[in-house]
């Protein structure tokens, strides 16, 4: 299959950004570093999985019957997930947590300002002093001059290393097909990228300003990346999408000291099907983007350590009651595993993609999105991490 080159991330682009200087350290590194010099290509699209039955459960949009007289054999593009339409607002305002609709919520608790910052899918930022009343939304991202400009962001997170704040988010470009899996899916470009700011509330700008840069392998469908530090190395832990693999995986790669690029190829930690509670999508009547695609989902990793030092990972998939949150633990205490799955989900009932954070009084809390049929809403629960395993407490907000 002939691949049509769409964009090239080259050392020449970096040289241009360096001005008139003929050679600089960054340009020299890019010239010789395969992780800074990648090529994004778009391949021809092809036939996808059969359409789901109208009316069945579906992630990513309403399932509609094909138009009358449509050619049933023509390849159809997958319905892409679009950000929900919200009423026009005059600007940030105070609101109760129950008024916020957001997938993949993430809270950064900033001790210096004694303020909680909430972000997630959609990329907006909300601020709170008590976790109940939030002020927002604020636009904090500037992607000018990159392939991400104007594209939707999912699963935003805020991390601090040194004196800088980093925003990890997943951007997609559905105009680019990185792989066509026959009778399954036209796999789009998805990458978790890093933005940087001097302040927790932004503005956040691309850490690598090259217009075509991708942090992960460009022929991988990568989402939901998070950052984790171990032995002075920062790792990106991320999802390799089930839509490309059928059995989704959780993977990691180490980052350079300045976080600008990976320093090794990804390592797989585990597959979704290794967890007994994770169910194959078709077997429980779930569709994605209106298509019947069999497979097991990995979603939303977050690394944590219990007070006894045990290393674990929160992650999500689909289970008997739709979306669910699970936990895996590393038997070695290292990111390198081996990783063992808990037999039962941590929280089910169409809830998932959660993360842990501490209140300023030291209390450990857990925020997750839950959908009771009225959209995805953040909920906050108590959690006990005093033993070797997390113990879910009670819902206190949302």
> CA-to-CA distance for 194 and 204, rounded, in angstroms?
9
Give the residue-averaged pLDDT of 126-138: 98
* HEC assignment per residue over 277-304: CCCCCHHHCEEECCECCCCECCEEEEEE
Would you list the DSSP string of 96-120?
A: EGGG---SS-EEEEETTTTEEEEE-
Tens-place pLDDT, residues 217-234: 999 999 999 999 999 999
Whether residue 130 is predicted with pLDDT greater than 90 in this model: the reply is yes
Confidence of residue 16 (pLDDT cuts 50, 70, 90): very low
Contacts for 300 with CB less than 8 Å, ≥ 6 apart: 104, 155, 224, 239, 314, 315, 316, 352, 353, 354, 355
Please, which pLDDT band fits residue 35 given cuts at 50, 70 and 90?
confident
pLDDT at 28: 53
Share of the chain above pLDDT 70, in %: 85
Return the higher-pLDDT residue of 5 and 155: 155
Tell me the C-alpha distance between 126 and 292, whole Å: 36
Q: Which tokens is 359 given?
A: 């209140």
Band of residue 36 on the pLDDT scale cut at 50, 70, 90 = confident
79-94 per-position pLDDT tens digit: 444 444 444 456 899 9
For 214-273, what is each residue's pLDDT tens digit?
A: 999 999 999 999 999 999 999 999 999 999 999 999 999 999 999 999 999 999 999 999
Write out the residue range of the structural domain in which residue 170 sits: 4-59+92-397
Give the number of domains in the chain.
1
Q: What is the mean pLDDT of residues 65-73?
A: 53
β-bridge partners, 132: none
CATH of the domain at 317: 2.115.10.20
Nearest of 363, 374, 387 to residue 312 by alpha carbon? 387
How many Å apart are CA 364 and CA 4, to the nearest integer? 50
- Under 8 Å between Cβ of 351 and 368: yes
Percent of the chain with pLDDT over 90: 79
The pTM for the full model equals: 0.88
Is residue 202 one of the residues assigned to a domain? yes
Q: Is residue 107 part of a domain?
A: yes
**Angstrom distance (rounded) from CA 74 to CA 283:** 26
Tokens encoding 321? 């009651």
Model confidence band, residue 97 (pLDDT cutoffs 50, 70, 90): very high
In a domain, 321, yes or no: yes
Contacts 24+ apart (CB under 8 A), 362-370: 365/131, 365/396, 366/392, 367/105, 367/106, 367/107, 367/118, 368/105, 368/325, 369/102, 369/103, 369/104, 369/105, 369/120, 370/398
Q: How confident is the model over 202-211, as pLDDT tens digits?
A: 999 999 988 8
* Structural domain contains residue 173: yes
265 domain residue, yes or no: yes
Q: Assess if residue 75 is contained within a domain.
A: no
């Amino acid at each position: 299959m002939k691949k049509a080159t769409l964009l090239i991330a080259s050392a020449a682009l970096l040289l241009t950004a360096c001005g008139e200087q003929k050679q600089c350290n960054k340009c020299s590194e890019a010239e010789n570093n395969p992780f800074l010099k990648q090529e994004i290509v778009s391949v021809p699209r092809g036939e996808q999985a059969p359409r789901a039955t109208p009316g069945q459960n579906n992630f990513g949009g309403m399932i509609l019957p094909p138009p009358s007289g449509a050619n049933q054999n023509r390849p159809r593009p997958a319905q892409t997930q679009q950000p929900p339409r919200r009423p026009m607002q005059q600007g940030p305002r105070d609101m109760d947590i129950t008024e916020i609709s957001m997938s993949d919520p993430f809270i950064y608790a900033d001790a210096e300002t004694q303020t909680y910052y909430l972000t997630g899918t959609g990329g907006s930022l909300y601020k709170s002093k008590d976790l109940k009343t939030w002020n927002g939304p604020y636009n904090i991202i500037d992607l000018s001059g990159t392939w991400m400009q104007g594209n939707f962001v999912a699963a935003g997170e805020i991390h601090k290393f040194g004196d800088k704040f980093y925003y990890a988010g997943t951007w997609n470009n559905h105009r680019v097909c990185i792989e066509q899996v026959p009778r399954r899916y036209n796999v789009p470009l998805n990458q978790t990228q890093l933005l940087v700011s001097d302040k927790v509330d932004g503005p956040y700008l691309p850490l690598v300003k090259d217009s075509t840069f991708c942090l992960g392998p460009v022929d991988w469908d990568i989402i939901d990346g998070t950052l984790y530090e171990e032995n002075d190395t920062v790792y990106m832990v991320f999802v390799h999408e089930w839509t490309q693999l059928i059995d989704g995986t959780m993977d990691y790669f180490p980052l350079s000291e300045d976080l600008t690029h990976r320093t090794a190829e990804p390592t797989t930690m585990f597959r979704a099907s290794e967890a007994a509670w994770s169910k194959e999508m078709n077997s429980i009547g779930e569709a994605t983007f209106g298509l019947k695609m069999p497979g097991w989902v990995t979603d939303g990793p977050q690394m944590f350590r219990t007070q006894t030092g045990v290393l674990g990972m929160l992650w999500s998939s689909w289970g008997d009651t739709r979306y669910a949150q699970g936990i895996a633990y590393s038997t070695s205490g290292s990111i390198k595993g081996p990783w063992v799955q808990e037999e039962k989900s941590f929280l089910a009932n169409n809830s998932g993609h959660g993360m842990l954070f501490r209140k300023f009084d030291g209390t450990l809390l857990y925020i997750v999105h839950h959908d009771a049929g009225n959209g995805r809403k953040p909920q906050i629960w108590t959690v006990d991490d005093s033993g070797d395993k997390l113990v879910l407490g009670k819902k206190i907000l949302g």
